[in-house]
Amino acid sequence: MNAPGFTGGTLDRADRIRHDDAMLAAAQADPRARLLVLDGLDPQVNADGRLGWTGLDAASGELLFLGFDGEGGPRFAAAPLPGERLPGGRSPALNAALDRFRAEDAALYAAARSLVDWHARHGFCANCGTKTAIFRAGWGRKCPTCSAEHFPRTDPVVIMIAEHDGRALLGRQPSWPAGRYSALAGFLEVGESIEEAVAREVLEEAGVCVDQVRYVASQPWPFPSSLMIACVAQAQDDAITMDVHELEDARWFTREEVRQALSRDPAAPFVAPPPYAIAYTLLSRWSET
Q: What is the rounded CA–CA span in Å between residue 163 and residue 176?
A: 23
pLDDT digit string (tens) for 17-32? 999 999 999 999 999 9
% of the chain beyond a pLDDT of 90: 89
- pLDDT category of residue 1 using cuts at 50, 70 and 90: low
pTM score, two decimals? Answer: 0.94
Q: What is the rounded CA–CA span in Å between residue 238 and residue 224?
A: 34
Domains along the sequence of the chain with CATH: 15-123 (no CATH), 155-288 (3.90.79.10)
Among 229, 240, 227, 219, which residue's Cα sits nearest to residue 168? 240
pLDDT digit string (tens) for 215-227? 999 999 999 999 9
User: What is the structure's pLDDT at 222?
Assistant: 96
Q: What is the rounded CA–CA span in Å between residue 36 and residue 13?
A: 15
Look over the chain and give the mean of its residue pLDDT values, rounded to a whole number: 95
Query: What are 232's strand-pairing partners?
Result: 161, 214
pLDDT digit string (tens) for 195-215? 999 999 999 999 999 999 999
Which of 9-23, 81-95, 98-112, 166-180 comes out lowest in average pLDDT?
A: 81-95
